[in-house]
Amino acid sequence: MRLNIVSYFKQNTQGMRGLMDAIERRIIALIDENREVILAFAEDIRLHPESGYREFRTAGKLADFFRRMGLPTVEGLAVTGVRAVLGREFDSAGEPDSAREFDSIGEPDSASEFDSTGEPDSAARQTPGKKPDAPVGIAILGELDGVRCDSHPDADPKTGIAHACGHHAQLGALVGAALALCDPLVSAALDGKVTFLGVPAEEGVDGEWKQHLKNEGKIVLLSGGKAELVRLGAFDGIDAVLAHHVHFAETDADILLGNGSTNGYVAKTIKVHGKAAHAGSKPHEGVNALNAASLGLTALAYHRETFRDEDSVRIHGMITQGGTAVNVVPSEVVVEVMVRAKNLDAIHDAGCKTDRSFRYAALALGAEAEVTDLPGYLPVIGSLPDSVQIKAAALLGDGVDSRAVDLARHNPLSTDIGDLTHLLPVLHVTSGGFSGNLHGADFHIADPETTILVPAKIHALTAYRLLKDGAAEALRIREQFIPVLTKEDYLAQMGLLTSET
């Protein structure tokens, strides 16, 4: 499906601009007025890239920003994650906790905001609506980490990490939306809470560092940052997630709304154990682990024709350890592999074939292959944008070319937003305005208006539309959404994404 959102709503609602209310005009004006602040924040992050679970400076900058806006802020979630909350918190009975009511600067609401009974003063609200019967909350995400790209001109010279995937743009959109939503007139119109989340470790993190953190008790799941935040309860009580990325689907649109489907994956570390011997004088006394690994890669190649086209299977890997010396028969070789596919059954099938290829190739040469699975990301479940997000984007007018994702197209890359699509409604936006290739040395944001500021406006306008009028739209989404996995099922899945022969 290919849908020009602005044209669609011009035809069906006689132009969304004419339906924009005072709060929506204020949201757009606030982001425009704070343009330089927002872009300077994103630029500072771009120039100081950090890898997953090491984003300490980035997290600190984000937390400081939230605190300057007076938001209650917590750091150190899943090592470097940041959480700030605007709006009502609720006690265990689902009633507003008066000790935790915050206005836009994080202080208890003044008498001008609440009447003598402690209820919100309807005069302070732009559109009073029926209060929700249960707590309502949404989350807006921004990812903290960069990606390893040594050849990028802005890569950190010590680590090789660069913001070659645009996560600094996400953080710019996140703080831009927060600036608008924290305005007193805007926040007074929200019947629910907004959680702003700085999320660590979306890009791949090497297994040794993850295992080190797990051994120290700093993480439990060896997947990504969102999995850890799910485990820690950061998404408990969240009715919808707003997320952003630069385009990872080919398009000439400024903005794509909705969830384009992607592959999920499982990562594998394959250790092939042989026997060392002098490679020149006594190779017959050794067992060559490198030969066994090479035979395993060849066996795996013969499986490729067995994968169904509609499953979008991708298997790719590298030898990370190939021996110790050229005159010694290699006794241990390490191969790392990513097995990707569009659905969990296909991931499992391809994983089983990968395991068999290496185990029996090793057996044929007298070696042994030890396969360890590291849970990766779940596939993104494709979905068209929700009407509330379409209407929010349409408010920006003809100057922004916004379209819905094309569900006929599938992207074989992987992202841990896929995990959340199995658990929660995800209202996703991707933006253009950049040149070059994701994760490439030529990645560059040329038009920050499109890449950063437009998504900030869409986030803030969508959040407002979800939570105004008694949070009617958020409650509708809550009632309509049927999760594929419960939180408990998901956490079990993260431990069970292994293959069996």
Instruction: Give the whole-angstrom CA distance, residue 206 versus residue 145.
Output: 13
C-beta of residue 54 within 8 angstroms of C-beta of residue 167? no
Question: What is the spatial distance between Cα 10 and Cα 394, in angstroms, rounded to a whole number?
Answer: 9
What pTM value is reported for the model?
Answer: 0.84
Structural domains of the chain in order of their starting residue, each with its CATH number: 5-260+380-494 (3.40.630.10), 264-377 (3.30.70.360)
Please tell me the distance from the alpha carbon of residue 86 to that of residue 102, in angstroms, as a whole number: 7
- Amino acid 349 reads D
| Spatial distance between the Cα atoms of 101 and 108, rounded to a whole number of angstroms | 6
How far is 465 from 98, CA to CA, in rounded Å? 25
**Residue by residue, what is the 3-state secondary structure of 22-49?**
HHHHHHHHHHHHCHHHHHHHHHHHHCCC
Strand, helix or coil for residue 149: coil
Give, for all 501 residues of the chain, the pLDDT tens digit. 445 554 554 454 445 555 789 999 999 999 999 999 999 999 999 999 999 999 999 999 999 999 999 999 999 999 999 999 998 554 333 444 433 333 332 333 333 332 333 333 333 333 334 556 668 999 999 999 999 999 999 999 999 999 999 999 999 999 999 999 999 999 999 999 999 999 999 987 777 788 899 999 999 988 889 999 999 999 999 999 999 999 988 899 999 999 999 999 999 999 999 999 999 999 999 999 999 999 999 999 999 999 999 999 999 999 999 999 999 999 999 999 999 999 999 999 999 999 999 999 999 999 999 999 888 899 999 999 999 999 999 999 989 999 999 999 999 989 999 999 999 999 999 999 999 999 999 999 999 999 999 999 999 999 999 999 999 999 999 999 999 999 999 998 887 444 443
Q: Where are the beta strands (DSSP E) in 359-495?
A: 368-375, 402-404, 426-431, 434-435, 444-445
What are the residues facing 278 on neighbouring strands? 328
Contact residues for 466 (Cβ-Cβ < 8 A; gap 6+): 138, 192, 239, 240, 388, 473, 474, 477
Q: Could you list the beta-strand ranges (E) of 130-280.
A: 137-143, 147-148, 161-162, 193-199, 240-246, 255-257, 264-273
Phi first, then psi, for residue 137 (nearest 5°) are -150, 145
Q: Rg (Cα) of the chain, in Å, rounded?
A: 25
* Pairwise CA distance, residues 254 & 18, whole Å: 22
Note the pLDDT of residue 498: 43
Q: Please choose, from the candidates 22, 194, 190, 178, the residue with its C-alpha nearest in 3D space to the C-alpha of residue 120.
A: 190
- Residue 309 carries which DSSP code? G
Q: What is the pLDDT of residue 208?
A: 79
For residue 226 the two structure tokens come to 């969102």
Which amino acid makes up residue 5? I
The answer to whether 167 and 243 are in contact (CB under 8 A) is no
**Closest-CA residue to 270 (of 339, 213, 220, 216):** 339
Helix (H, G, I), strand (E, B) or coil at 220: coil
Q: Can you give the three-state secondary structure of 366-389, one letter per residue?
A: CCEEEEEEEECCCCCCCECCCHHH
Rounded Cα distance between 67 and 187, Å, is 16
Dihedrals φ, ψ of 178, to 5°?
A: -65, -40
